[in-house]
Amino acid sequence: MISKDELQIIAAEKQLEPKVIEKDYVLGWVLAGISQHSKIKDNWVFKGGTCLKKCYFETYRFSEDLDFTYKYPDYLPTEIELVTIVKEISSWVYDNSGIEIPESGVSFEIVPNKRGSYTVQGKLSYRGVIRSEIRVANLPRIKIDLTLDEPLILNAVTRAVEHNYTDKPPGGIKVMTYSCEEIFAEKIRALIQRLRPRDLYDVIHLYRQKELNPNVVILKEVLSKKCNVRNIPFPSMEQIEVHESRKLLESEWETQLKHQLPVLPSFDTFLEYLPEVFNWVATGFHVQDKPIFSIPNEVTGRIISQQVDTLISPEFCTTDLEKIRFAAVNRLLINLKYDGSYREIEPYSFAKSAEGKILLCAIKFQTGKARRYRLDRIEGVEVLTKTFNPRYEIEITSAGMLPVHY
């Protein structure tokens, strides 16, 4: 198990409560346990918001539940069988990580749903890094939802699970997940059905992730089939506006998301992208990309993806770089301290000068003028709640290697 110090350092870097990071940490180990259990590793197909964050890209939204589709619905497991399986997983997790999942904290219930089928709802309590001495009844919990009547339209794929902690299992963690197109389609359908803030946040992030590169023809076909399964029309903006939960979508934006994000972007900046998303899915037409931010004359224009740690100099910390990434992906302004003064900037890309210095390419918000800032001279980064409408293509990615112009 990681130390409390490690957890608190990560929480400070992410600007989130330690308990949020602890749950993310435990989720990783539970997925590791599922991945090695012979009865379910090829049968429970991972999906939903936690799957997006742990297996596809950095959404920055720290999810709290585990959602799966039951791949072979011909056999319905009993509640006793499910509890037994999770207890076996819990034992493995404890042996390999030290995280305790008390037997009395594991429960499953198979309940009828509105579609004439059944849904499995499970809960497991855990003793992690924080407050390990508290009673089982007061322990934090992870919810497990297992859908029994959701047909897989595309083949499931094997994906690596992001577990950026020092006790990552040897060889990493790999689980069966939805394909990119299917997870996108199901997120759009979920948004139309229940109109929850987390679904809106995830759909817009999926759309913005150019590196994900879903096949929109396949996506549209999968979405159409998934809507037919639930007997709902193909998604449109009109359905959003007339939905009975439309007002709640906005009023619950902060309540449901603020604790999951270091800085919460405004509701309007996400809602305004939805017509563009629906038009893209329906027609395959993507809004024309914005121009690339002009780069220094001495830079060739060649782009090479670099590991994050190769961009970090002793004068510049990882936390500040993560703040820049978060701001760029969420279209949030940065209050940048540079050469002893502050300025509000729009972050767009990175470049490497002829002298080998890494530059942050940005626009000064007040003047609209292009600026380049050496990372080793940046003295502070504050992500603001103020948003900006991108004037150029945002090339800064949310996770993994960063594209750098050379």
**pLDDT (tens digit, 9 = 90+) per residue, 353-373?**
888 888 999 999 999 999 999
- In the block, residue with structure tokens 């959602």: 67
Q: Is the pLDDT of residue 316 over 70?
A: no
- 114 vs 118: CA distance, rounded Å: 9
**pLDDT (tens digit, 9 = 90+) per residue, 158-212?**
999 999 999 999 899 999 999 999 999 999 999 999 999 999 999 999 998 877 8
Contact indicator for 105, 126 with CB cutoff of 8 Å: yes
**pLDDT (tens digit, 9 = 90+) per residue, 127-143?**
989 877 678 888 999 99
- 191 vs 227: CA distance, rounded Å: 12
Please tell me the pTM assigned to this model: 0.89
Query: When comparing pLDDT for 315 and 400, which is higher?
Result: 400
Question: At 386, is the pLDDT very low, low, confident or very high (cuts 50, 70, 90)?
Answer: very high
Q: Is the pLDDT of residue 300 over 50?
A: no
Query: Ramachandran region of residue 340, left (φ > 0), alpha (ψ -120 to 50) or beta?
Result: left
**pLDDT (tens digit, 9 = 90+) per residue, 251-295?**
999 999 999 999 999 999 999 999 999 999 999 887 766 777 765
**pLDDT (tens digit, 9 = 90+) per residue, 7-54?**
999 998 888 999 999 999 999 999 999 999 999 999 999 999 999 999
